[in-house]
């Protein structure tokens, strides 16, 4: 029964390729880190313009979420990398295009997470802060936002994991990261099994890092309450 296709895992090849895959993973982590930072900044801005009492800003925030959450990331990447240069003359290298694409899309989701977090805080908190003479922004900064941290950790952890996995899409705009590296050597050496399984395991390792870190963070904040 066993080995009906005669398949044997090629350990020597796997080990030889490991440094290249790890280099690709380095690029994956770099893209993810930049995109997560950008996405978090955008998300904060989007969340804030959605909760301030200004209908125009609220509308713009809603518009942003609608567009960037509604168009598939893959299509957004194509637009940024392939369509924008022809239409506007803006020619982005693959790396900034990748970070921008994932970051802007992630910003839409993170914005929603933060907004929901802010709006889940009891309205009495804002009223108490205002009644003590605080300004709206002081109340946000010192009273409301700090109370959202613990509630934000689980959904933010999920979102960071999603963004990390989404980096595998940027191979379509010629970015050589973990998946693309695996793809190149899988086809040139006819070793798809070794390459893709190893790449998959490296992704799993990276996402596990987030799971563990966020779990610890949640515990730590839970203790301080």
Partner 1 sequence: MIKVIDVCKSFGNLQVLKNVNLTVAPGEVVVIIGPSGSGKSTLLRCMNYLEKIDSGKIYIDGQLIGKKEVNGKLVEAPAKEVYKMRENIGMVFQRFNLFPHMTVLNNLMEAPVLVRRMDKGAARKLALDLLKKVGLEEKANAYPAHLSGGQQQRVAIARALAMEPKIMLFDEPTSALDPELVGEVLSVMKELAREGMTMVVVTHEMGFAREVADRVVFMDEGRILEEGTPQQIFTNPQHPRTREFLAKIL
219 binds partner 1 per the rule CB under 8 A: no
Task: Look at residue 182 and give its three-state secondary structure.
Answer: helix
Out of 58, 147, 158, 207, point to the residue binding partner 1 (CB under 8 A). 147
The least distance separating partner 1 from the CB of residue 148, rounded to whole angstroms, comes to 10
Q: Which stretch binds partner 1 (CB under 8 A): 9-17, 68-76, 102-110, 139-147?
A: 139-147
Number of H helices, E strands in the chain: 10, 0
Quick one: which H or E segment has residue 206?
Answer: helix 192-223
Enumerate residues 110-129 that contact partner 1 by CB under 8 A. Answer: 122, 124-125, 127-129
Question: Minimum CB separation from partner 1 for residue 123, in Å?
Answer: 9
Stretch of 36-44, 96-104, 143-151, 202-210 contacting partner 1, by CB under 8 A: 143-151
Pairwise CA distance, residues 118 & 64, whole Å: 18
Write b or e for each residue in 23-56: b if 16 or more Cβ atoms lie within 10 A of its Cβ, otherwise e.
Answer: ebbebbbebbebbbebbbebbeebbbbbbeeeee
Size, binding site for partner 1 by CB under 8 A: 19
Residues that bind partner 1 (CB under 8 A): 122, 124-125, 127-136, 138, 142-143, 146-147, 225
């Amino acid at each position: 029964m066993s080995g009906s296709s005669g398949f044997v895992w090629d350990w020597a090849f796997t080990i030889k390729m490991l440094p290249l895959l790890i280099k690709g993973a380095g690029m994956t982590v770099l893209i993810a880190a930049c995109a997560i930072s950008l996405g978090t900044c955008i998300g904060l801005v989007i969340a804030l313009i959605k909760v301030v009492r200004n209908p125009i800003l609220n509308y713009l925030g809603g518009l942003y979420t609608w567009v960037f959450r509604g168009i598939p990331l893959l299509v957004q990447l194509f637009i940024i990398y392939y369509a924008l240069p022809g239409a506007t003359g803006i020619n982005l290298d693959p790396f900034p295009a990748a970070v921008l694409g994932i970051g802007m899309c992630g910003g839409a989701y993170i914005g929603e997470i933060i907004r929901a977090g802010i709006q889940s805080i009891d309205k009495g908190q804002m009223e108490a802060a205002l009644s003590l003479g605080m300004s709206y922004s002081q109340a946000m900064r010192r009273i409301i936002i700090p109370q959202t941290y613990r509630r934000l950790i689980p959904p933010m952890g999920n979102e960071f994991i999603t963004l990390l996995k989404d980096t595998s899409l940027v191979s379509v705009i010629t970015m050589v990261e973990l998946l693309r590296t695996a793809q190149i050597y899988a086809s040139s050496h006819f070793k798809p099994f070794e390459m893709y399984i190893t790449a998959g395991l490296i992704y799993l390792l990276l996402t596990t890092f987030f799971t563990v870190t966020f779990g610890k963070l949640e515990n730590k904040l839970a203790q301080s309450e």
